[in-house]
Structure 1
Amino acid sequence: MDVGLREAKKQETRRLISDHATRLFLEQGFEETTIAQVAAAARVAKKTVTNYFARKEDLVLDHQDEFVATLAAAVSSREPGESALAALRRAFEAAVAAKDPVVGFAGLEFSRMIAESPTLSACLRGLHEQRERALAQALADAVGSPRTDITVRTAAAVLGAVHHSLFERIEELTLAGRPVDEVAATVEAEAARAFDLLEPSLGNYAVASAPS
Protein backbone atom coordinates (compact mmCIF):
# COMPACT_ATOMS: atom_id res chain seq x y z
CA MET A 1 0.00 0.00 0.00
CA ASP A 2 1.52 3.34 -1.02
CA VAL A 3 1.85 6.26 1.38
CA GLY A 4 -1.06 8.21 -0.10
CA LEU A 5 -3.43 5.26 0.09
CA ARG A 6 -2.33 4.44 3.63
CA GLU A 7 -2.95 8.01 4.76
CA ALA A 8 -6.37 8.04 3.08
CA LYS A 9 -7.24 4.81 4.90
CA LYS A 10 -6.19 6.35 8.22
CA GLN A 11 -8.34 9.41 7.60
CA GLU A 12 -11.28 7.20 6.66
CA THR A 13 -10.91 5.19 9.88
CA ARG A 14 -10.60 8.35 11.95
CA ARG A 15 -13.72 9.81 10.35
CA LEU A 16 -15.64 6.55 10.86
CA ILE A 17 -14.78 6.44 14.56
CA SER A 18 -15.62 10.13 15.02
CA ASP A 19 -18.97 9.79 13.24
CA HIS A 20 -20.04 6.79 15.33
CA ALA A 21 -18.86 8.48 18.52
CA THR A 22 -20.82 11.65 17.77
CA ARG A 23 -23.97 9.63 17.06
CA LEU A 24 -23.66 7.74 20.35
CA PHE A 25 -22.87 10.87 22.33
CA LEU A 26 -25.95 12.61 20.92
CA GLU A 27 -28.15 9.60 21.61
CA GLN A 28 -26.85 8.63 25.05
CA GLY A 29 -24.95 11.65 26.35
CA PHE A 30 -21.20 12.12 26.49
CA GLU A 31 -20.68 11.06 30.09
CA GLU A 32 -22.79 7.92 29.64
CA THR A 33 -21.03 6.65 26.50
CA THR A 34 -17.90 4.52 26.83
CA ILE A 35 -14.91 4.10 24.54
CA ALA A 36 -15.79 0.39 24.32
CA GLN A 37 -19.24 1.29 22.94
CA VAL A 38 -17.67 3.59 20.35
CA ALA A 39 -15.24 0.86 19.30
CA ALA A 40 -18.07 -1.67 18.98
CA ALA A 41 -20.18 0.71 16.89
CA ALA A 42 -17.25 1.48 14.57
CA ARG A 43 -16.25 -2.21 14.47
CA VAL A 44 -12.69 -1.53 15.52
CA ALA A 45 -10.64 -2.47 18.56
CA LYS A 46 -10.79 -0.22 21.62
CA LYS A 47 -7.04 0.33 21.23
CA THR A 48 -7.66 1.62 17.70
CA VAL A 49 -9.98 4.30 19.07
CA THR A 50 -7.42 5.44 21.65
CA ASN A 51 -4.66 5.39 19.03
CA TYR A 52 -6.59 7.95 16.98
CA PHE A 53 -8.11 9.87 19.90
CA ALA A 54 -6.01 10.05 23.08
CA ARG A 55 -8.87 11.36 25.21
CA LYS A 56 -12.58 10.69 25.07
CA GLU A 57 -13.34 14.40 24.63
CA ASP A 58 -11.10 14.46 21.55
CA LEU A 59 -13.78 12.37 19.81
CA VAL A 60 -16.13 15.34 20.12
CA LEU A 61 -13.78 18.31 19.81
CA ASP A 62 -11.74 16.87 16.96
CA HIS A 63 -10.87 20.22 15.37
CA GLN A 64 -9.05 21.57 18.41
CA ASP A 65 -5.88 22.65 16.62
CA GLU A 66 -7.89 24.59 14.04
CA PHE A 67 -9.90 26.31 16.79
CA VAL A 68 -6.83 27.28 18.83
CA ALA A 69 -5.07 28.71 15.76
CA THR A 70 -7.92 30.80 14.32
CA LEU A 71 -7.28 34.15 16.02
CA ALA A 72 -3.51 33.93 15.67
CA ALA A 73 -3.92 33.07 11.98
CA ALA A 74 -6.12 36.10 11.39
CA VAL A 75 -3.50 38.39 12.94
CA SER A 76 -0.61 36.75 11.08
CA SER A 77 -2.39 37.11 7.73
CA ARG A 78 -3.60 40.69 8.15
CA GLU A 79 -3.33 42.90 5.09
CA PRO A 80 -0.93 45.86 4.70
CA GLY A 81 -2.24 48.80 6.73
CA GLU A 82 -4.68 46.56 8.62
CA SER A 83 -4.61 46.43 12.41
CA ALA A 84 -4.94 43.23 14.42
CA LEU A 85 -8.42 44.32 15.50
CA ALA A 86 -9.53 44.98 11.92
CA ALA A 87 -8.18 41.62 10.75
CA LEU A 88 -9.92 39.77 13.57
CA ARG A 89 -13.14 41.63 12.93
CA ARG A 90 -13.02 40.82 9.22
CA ALA A 91 -12.33 37.14 9.92
CA PHE A 92 -15.16 36.91 12.44
CA GLU A 93 -17.66 38.55 10.11
CA ALA A 94 -16.71 36.07 7.37
CA ALA A 95 -17.09 33.15 9.79
CA VAL A 96 -20.55 34.32 10.85
CA ALA A 97 -21.60 34.70 7.22
CA ALA A 98 -20.41 31.14 6.59
CA LYS A 99 -22.03 29.93 9.86
CA ASP A 100 -18.73 28.32 10.72
CA PRO A 101 -18.80 25.79 13.61
CA VAL A 102 -15.42 27.15 14.76
CA VAL A 103 -17.11 30.37 15.97
CA GLY A 104 -20.01 28.50 17.57
CA PHE A 105 -22.45 27.41 14.86
CA ALA A 106 -22.48 23.78 15.98
CA GLY A 107 -26.24 23.12 15.83
CA LEU A 108 -28.76 22.58 18.61
CA GLU A 109 -28.05 18.93 19.43
CA PHE A 110 -24.27 19.32 19.46
CA SER A 111 -24.43 22.55 21.49
CA ARG A 112 -26.74 20.91 24.01
CA MET A 113 -24.39 17.95 24.37
CA ILE A 114 -21.49 20.29 25.16
CA ALA A 115 -23.53 22.36 27.60
CA GLU A 116 -24.81 19.30 29.47
CA SER A 117 -21.38 17.72 29.89
CA PRO A 118 -19.11 19.11 32.64
CA THR A 119 -16.14 17.39 30.99
CA LEU A 120 -16.75 18.91 27.55
CA SER A 121 -17.58 22.35 28.97
CA ALA A 122 -14.30 22.38 30.90
CA CYS A 123 -12.40 21.20 27.83
CA LEU A 124 -13.93 23.98 25.72
CA ARG A 125 -12.95 26.61 28.31
CA GLY A 126 -9.40 25.27 28.12
CA LEU A 127 -9.41 25.61 24.35
CA HIS A 128 -10.48 29.25 24.64
CA GLU A 129 -7.52 29.82 26.99
CA GLN A 130 -5.13 28.11 24.57
CA ARG A 131 -6.50 30.24 21.73
CA GLU A 132 -5.82 33.40 23.72
CA ARG A 133 -2.23 32.30 24.38
CA ALA A 134 -1.71 31.60 20.68
CA LEU A 135 -3.15 35.03 19.89
CA ALA A 136 -0.76 36.64 22.37
CA GLN A 137 2.19 35.03 20.59
CA ALA A 138 0.94 36.24 17.20
CA LEU A 139 0.53 39.79 18.56
CA ALA A 140 3.99 39.64 20.13
CA ASP A 141 5.47 38.62 16.78
CA ALA A 142 3.51 41.37 15.03
CA VAL A 143 4.79 44.18 17.26
CA GLY A 144 8.24 42.76 18.02
CA SER A 145 7.72 42.43 21.75
CA PRO A 146 7.93 39.42 24.08
CA ARG A 147 4.67 37.60 24.80
CA THR A 148 5.09 38.56 28.47
CA ASP A 149 4.85 42.28 27.61
CA ILE A 150 1.86 43.69 29.47
CA THR A 151 0.50 45.49 26.40
CA VAL A 152 0.60 42.28 24.37
CA ARG A 153 -1.00 40.29 27.17
CA THR A 154 -3.72 42.88 27.72
CA ALA A 155 -4.53 43.16 24.01
CA ALA A 156 -4.73 39.36 23.70
CA ALA A 157 -6.92 39.10 26.80
CA VAL A 158 -9.35 41.73 25.55
CA LEU A 159 -9.54 40.40 21.99
CA GLY A 160 -9.80 36.84 23.24
CA ALA A 161 -12.59 37.79 25.65
CA VAL A 162 -14.66 39.39 22.89
CA HIS A 163 -14.43 36.26 20.76
CA HIS A 164 -15.23 34.06 23.75
CA SER A 165 -18.26 36.19 24.57
CA LEU A 166 -19.51 36.04 20.98
CA PHE A 167 -18.99 32.27 20.89
CA GLU A 168 -21.08 31.92 24.05
CA ARG A 169 -23.72 34.23 22.58
CA ILE A 170 -24.07 32.01 19.50
CA GLU A 171 -24.32 28.97 21.77
CA GLU A 172 -26.91 30.71 23.97
CA LEU A 173 -29.14 31.64 21.03
CA THR A 174 -28.75 28.18 19.52
CA LEU A 175 -29.77 26.49 22.78
CA ALA A 176 -32.79 28.80 22.92
CA GLY A 177 -33.93 27.22 19.65
CA ARG A 178 -33.45 30.27 17.45
CA PRO A 179 -33.18 29.56 13.68
CA VAL A 180 -29.59 29.66 12.46
CA ASP A 181 -30.19 32.62 10.13
CA GLU A 182 -31.64 34.60 13.02
CA VAL A 183 -28.67 33.69 15.20
CA ALA A 184 -26.27 34.87 12.50
CA ALA A 185 -28.12 38.17 11.99
CA THR A 186 -28.30 38.84 15.73
CA VAL A 187 -24.65 38.08 16.34
CA GLU A 188 -23.53 40.06 13.31
CA ALA A 189 -25.16 43.19 14.77
CA GLU A 190 -23.94 42.52 18.31
CA ALA A 191 -20.41 41.76 17.14
CA ALA A 192 -20.27 45.13 15.39
CA ARG A 193 -21.09 46.86 18.68
CA ALA A 194 -18.56 44.76 20.57
CA PHE A 195 -15.73 45.43 18.13
CA ASP A 196 -16.66 49.14 17.99
CA LEU A 197 -16.02 49.34 21.75
CA LEU A 198 -12.41 48.28 21.15
CA GLU A 199 -11.66 50.74 18.34
CA PRO A 200 -10.50 53.66 20.58
CA SER A 201 -7.90 51.51 22.35
CA LEU A 202 -6.87 48.91 19.76
CA GLY A 203 -7.82 50.41 16.40
CA ASN A 204 -4.20 51.30 15.63
CA TYR A 205 -2.49 48.41 17.41
CA ALA A 206 -0.31 45.95 15.48
CA VAL A 207 -0.91 47.55 12.08
CA ALA A 208 0.74 45.54 9.32
CA SER A 209 3.44 47.35 7.37
CA ALA A 210 3.26 47.72 3.63
CA PRO A 211 5.71 45.45 1.77
CA SER A 212 9.02 47.18 1.05
Structure 2
Amino acid sequence: MSTPSDLRSRKRLAMRQGISNAATRLFFERGFDHVTVDEIAAAADVGRMTVFNHFPRKEDMFFDRDEEGREILREALRRRDPGVAPIETLRLLAHRLVAEQSPYVRFSVESQGFIETIEGSETLKARARAIRDEIAQVVTLALTECAGREPADPDACLAADLLLATWAVALIQAHRTFRQKRDAKEAEAAFLAIVDKGSIGLKAAMASTPYA
Protein backbone atom coordinates (compact mmCIF):
# COMPACT_ATOMS: atom_id res chain seq x y z
CA MET A 1 0.00 0.00 0.00
CA SER A 2 2.97 2.35 0.52
CA THR A 3 4.06 2.31 -3.12
CA PRO A 4 0.96 4.09 -4.52
CA SER A 5 1.23 6.64 -1.72
CA ASP A 6 4.90 7.27 -2.55
CA LEU A 7 4.05 7.52 -6.23
CA ARG A 8 1.33 10.07 -5.52
CA SER A 9 3.74 12.06 -3.42
CA ARG A 10 6.36 12.06 -6.17
CA LYS A 11 3.78 13.12 -8.75
CA ARG A 12 2.54 15.90 -6.49
CA LEU A 13 6.07 17.16 -5.87
CA ALA A 14 6.86 16.99 -9.59
CA MET A 15 3.74 19.00 -10.43
CA ARG A 16 4.54 21.54 -7.72
CA GLN A 17 8.07 21.93 -9.07
CA GLY A 18 6.78 22.26 -12.61
CA ILE A 19 4.45 25.08 -11.58
CA SER A 20 7.21 26.81 -9.66
CA ASN A 21 9.64 26.51 -12.57
CA ALA A 22 7.11 27.95 -15.02
CA ALA A 23 6.29 30.81 -12.64
CA THR A 24 9.92 31.63 -11.94
CA ARG A 25 10.75 31.75 -15.65
CA LEU A 26 7.90 34.20 -16.25
CA PHE A 27 8.84 36.27 -13.20
CA PHE A 28 12.44 36.57 -14.40
CA GLU A 29 11.37 37.48 -17.92
CA ARG A 30 8.63 40.01 -17.14
CA GLY A 31 8.78 40.88 -13.47
CA PHE A 32 6.67 39.42 -10.68
CA ASP A 33 3.91 42.04 -10.76
CA HIS A 34 3.37 41.68 -14.51
CA VAL A 35 2.60 37.95 -14.46
CA THR A 36 -0.88 36.61 -13.68
CA VAL A 37 -1.80 33.29 -12.10
CA ASP A 38 -3.70 32.38 -15.28
CA GLU A 39 -0.53 32.88 -17.32
CA ILE A 40 1.41 30.70 -14.89
CA ALA A 41 -1.24 27.97 -15.12
CA ALA A 42 -1.08 28.08 -18.92
CA ALA A 43 2.73 27.94 -18.93
CA ALA A 44 2.68 24.95 -16.56
CA ASP A 45 -0.19 23.31 -18.50
CA VAL A 46 -2.41 23.00 -15.42
CA GLY A 47 -5.66 24.58 -14.26
CA ARG A 48 -5.84 27.76 -12.20
CA MET A 49 -7.17 25.86 -9.16
CA THR A 50 -4.32 23.36 -9.42
CA VAL A 51 -1.89 26.26 -9.04
CA PHE A 52 -3.67 27.45 -5.89
CA ASN A 53 -3.80 23.90 -4.51
CA HIS A 54 -0.01 23.91 -4.48
CA PHE A 55 0.63 27.59 -3.80
CA PRO A 56 -1.99 29.57 -1.80
CA ARG A 57 -0.27 32.85 -2.72
CA LYS A 58 1.42 33.96 -5.91
CA GLU A 59 4.58 34.93 -4.03
CA ASP A 60 4.82 31.39 -2.64
CA MET A 61 5.74 30.25 -6.16
CA PHE A 62 8.73 32.56 -6.08
CA PHE A 63 9.86 31.64 -2.56
CA ASP A 64 9.16 27.95 -3.11
CA ARG A 65 12.17 26.80 -1.06
CA ASP A 66 11.11 28.72 2.02
CA GLU A 67 9.92 25.76 4.11
CA GLU A 68 12.92 23.66 3.12
CA GLY A 69 15.21 26.42 4.37
CA ARG A 70 13.42 26.58 7.70
CA GLU A 71 13.79 22.83 8.12
CA ILE A 72 17.54 23.04 7.48
CA LEU A 73 17.87 25.48 10.38
CA ARG A 74 15.69 23.33 12.66
CA GLU A 75 17.60 20.17 11.84
CA ALA A 76 20.99 21.80 12.39
CA LEU A 77 19.99 22.63 15.97
CA ARG A 78 18.16 19.36 16.62
CA ARG A 79 21.13 17.28 15.55
CA ARG A 80 23.92 19.47 16.86
CA ASP A 81 26.85 17.98 18.68
CA PRO A 82 26.16 18.50 22.42
CA GLY A 83 29.69 19.82 22.73
CA VAL A 84 29.02 22.60 20.22
CA ALA A 85 26.99 25.63 21.31
CA PRO A 86 23.88 26.52 19.28
CA ILE A 87 25.33 29.77 17.91
CA GLU A 88 28.49 28.01 16.79
CA THR A 89 26.35 25.27 15.25
CA LEU A 90 24.62 27.83 13.05
CA ARG A 91 27.92 29.46 12.11
CA LEU A 92 29.22 26.07 11.02
CA LEU A 93 25.98 25.50 9.12
CA ALA A 94 26.70 28.59 7.01
CA HIS A 95 30.12 27.17 6.11
CA ARG A 96 28.60 23.78 5.29
CA LEU A 97 25.93 25.28 3.05
CA VAL A 98 28.59 27.15 1.09
CA ALA A 99 30.75 24.03 0.79
CA GLU A 100 27.76 22.02 -0.43
CA GLN A 101 26.79 24.72 -2.94
CA SER A 102 23.35 25.05 -1.39
CA PRO A 103 20.92 27.13 -3.48
CA TYR A 104 20.38 29.38 -0.45
CA VAL A 105 23.96 30.65 -0.61
CA ARG A 106 24.68 30.31 -4.31
CA PHE A 107 26.00 33.45 -5.97
CA SER A 108 25.62 33.30 -9.73
CA VAL A 109 24.03 34.97 -12.73
CA GLU A 110 20.84 33.05 -11.95
CA SER A 111 20.83 34.21 -8.33
CA GLN A 112 21.22 37.78 -9.55
CA GLY A 113 18.02 37.33 -11.52
CA PHE A 114 16.34 36.20 -8.30
CA ILE A 115 17.56 39.26 -6.37
CA GLU A 116 16.69 41.67 -9.17
CA THR A 117 13.17 40.24 -9.38
CA ILE A 118 12.70 40.87 -5.65
CA GLU A 119 14.09 44.39 -5.96
CA GLY A 120 11.60 45.12 -8.74
CA SER A 121 8.51 44.14 -6.73
CA GLU A 122 7.16 45.74 -3.56
CA THR A 123 5.06 42.60 -3.02
CA LEU A 124 8.14 40.37 -3.03
CA LYS A 125 10.12 42.74 -0.83
CA ALA A 126 7.30 42.73 1.71
CA ARG A 127 7.10 38.95 1.62
CA ALA A 128 10.87 38.65 2.00
CA ARG A 129 10.71 40.81 5.14
CA ALA A 130 7.85 38.69 6.49
CA ILE A 131 9.78 35.48 5.79
CA ARG A 132 12.76 36.86 7.66
CA ASP A 133 10.56 37.58 10.71
CA GLU A 134 8.99 34.11 10.47
CA ILE A 135 12.39 32.44 10.26
CA ALA A 136 13.51 34.40 13.32
CA GLN A 137 10.58 32.81 15.17
CA VAL A 138 11.60 29.37 13.89
CA VAL A 139 15.16 29.90 15.12
CA THR A 140 13.93 31.23 18.47
CA LEU A 141 11.84 28.11 19.06
CA ALA A 142 14.63 25.79 17.91
CA LEU A 143 17.09 27.51 20.25
CA THR A 144 14.80 27.22 23.25
CA GLU A 145 14.09 23.58 22.50
CA CYS A 146 17.75 22.64 22.39
CA ALA A 147 18.47 24.66 25.56
CA GLY A 148 15.41 23.49 27.49
CA ARG A 149 14.03 26.99 27.94
CA GLU A 150 10.58 28.50 27.55
CA PRO A 151 9.52 29.35 23.96
CA ALA A 152 9.32 33.08 24.78
CA ASP A 153 12.82 33.23 26.31
CA PRO A 154 14.04 36.80 25.61
CA ASP A 155 17.65 35.64 25.20
CA ALA A 156 16.59 33.28 22.43
CA CYS A 157 14.52 36.01 20.77
CA LEU A 158 17.50 38.37 20.82
CA ALA A 159 19.89 35.69 19.56
CA ALA A 160 17.56 34.78 16.69
CA ASP A 161 17.03 38.40 15.64
CA LEU A 162 20.77 39.13 15.72
CA LEU A 163 21.49 35.94 13.79
CA LEU A 164 18.95 36.77 11.07
CA ALA A 165 20.28 40.32 10.84
CA THR A 166 23.81 38.97 10.41
CA TRP A 167 22.83 36.51 7.70
CA ALA A 168 20.74 39.14 5.90
CA VAL A 169 23.66 41.58 5.78
CA ALA A 170 25.98 38.76 4.72
CA LEU A 171 23.70 37.72 1.86
CA ILE A 172 23.20 41.28 0.63
CA GLN A 173 26.95 41.93 0.65
CA ALA A 174 27.72 38.63 -1.06
CA HIS A 175 25.24 39.28 -3.86
CA ARG A 176 26.63 42.81 -4.22
CA THR A 177 30.15 41.39 -4.46
CA PHE A 178 29.10 38.96 -7.18
CA ARG A 179 27.29 41.72 -9.07
CA GLN A 180 30.46 43.82 -9.07
CA LYS A 181 33.10 41.15 -9.66
CA ARG A 182 31.24 38.17 -11.17
CA ASP A 183 33.32 35.90 -8.94
CA ALA A 184 31.39 33.29 -6.93
CA LYS A 185 34.33 32.48 -4.66
CA GLU A 186 34.77 36.11 -3.67
CA ALA A 187 31.05 36.36 -2.99
CA GLU A 188 31.15 33.23 -0.82
CA ALA A 189 34.15 34.61 1.09
CA ALA A 190 32.29 37.88 1.68
CA PHE A 191 29.25 36.00 2.97
CA LEU A 192 31.24 33.83 5.38
CA ALA A 193 33.40 36.72 6.61
CA ILE A 194 30.32 38.63 7.75
CA VAL A 195 28.71 35.51 9.26
CA ASP A 196 31.92 34.81 11.20
CA LYS A 197 32.24 38.41 12.38
CA GLY A 198 28.59 38.56 13.38
CA SER A 199 28.91 35.27 15.25
CA ILE A 200 31.73 36.72 17.37
CA GLY A 201 29.47 39.56 18.45
CA LEU A 202 26.54 37.23 18.98
CA LYS A 203 28.60 34.92 21.19
CA ALA A 204 29.71 37.91 23.27
CA ALA A 205 26.13 39.12 23.66
CA MET A 206 24.96 35.63 24.67
CA ALA A 207 27.99 34.79 26.83
CA SER A 208 25.94 34.12 29.97
CA THR A 209 23.30 32.02 28.23
CA PRO A 210 23.14 28.38 27.07
CA TYR A 211 23.15 29.55 23.44
CA ALA A 212 26.83 30.51 23.38
TM-score by length of 1: 0.87
Report whether the alignment pairs 1:3 with 2:11: no
1:156-167 to structure 2, matched below 5 A, reads 156-167=160-171
Of 84, 87, 90, the residue aligned with 2:89 is: 87
Q: How far is the alpha carbon of 1:176 from its aligned partner?
A: 4.0
Partner of 2:54: 52
Contact 1:68–1:130 (CA<8 Å) still a contact in 2?
Answer: no
Percent identity of equivalent pairs: 30
Cα distance change, pair 113–48 in 1 and its aligned pair in 2 (3 A): same
Cα distance change, pair 99–169 in 1 and its aligned pair in 2 (3 A): farther
Greater fraction helix: 2
Q: How far is the alpha carbon of 1:175 from its aligned partner?
A: 4.2
Greater Cα offset, 56-65 or 106-115: 106-115
Q: Bigger relative contact order, structure 1 or 2, given CA contacts below 8 A and separation 6+?
A: 1
Report whether the alignment pairs 1:115 with 2:119: yes
The separation in 2 between residues aligned to 1:207 and 1:117, in whole angstroms, is: 37
1:127-206 to structure 2, matched below 5 A, reads 127-176=131-180, 178-202=182-206, 205-206=209-210
Query: Aligned to 1:31, what secondary structure does the other structure show?
Result: helix
Q: How far is the alpha carbon of 1:59 from its aligned partner?
A: 0.9
Report whether the alignment pairs 1:43 with 2:19: no
Cα distance change, pair 70–203 in 1 and its aligned pair in 2 (3 A): farther
Partner of 2:103: 101
Contact 1:14–1:52 (CA<8 Å) still a contact in 2?
Answer: yes
Partner of 2:65: 63
Unaligned 5+ runs, structure 2: none
Contact 1:104–1:170 (CA<8 Å) still a contact in 2?
Answer: no
TM-score by length of 2: 0.87
Between Structure 1 and Structure 2, how many residues are aligned?
A: 208
The separation in 2 between residues aligned to 1:204 and 1:102, in whole angstroms, is: 31
Of 113, 126, 129, the residue aligned with 1:125 is: 129
Partner of 2:17: 15
The separation in 2 between residues aligned to 1:173 and 1:46, in whole angstroms, is: 39
Greater Cα offset, 35-44 or 2-11: 2-11
Query: Aligned to 2:34, what secondary structure does the other structure show?
Result: coil
The separation in 2 between residues aligned to 1:60 and 1:79, in whole angstroms, is: 34
Contact 2:175–2:187 (CA<8 Å) still a contact in 1?
Answer: no
Q: How far is the alpha carbon of 1:122 from its aligned partner?
A: 1.1
Unaligned 5+ runs, structure 1: none
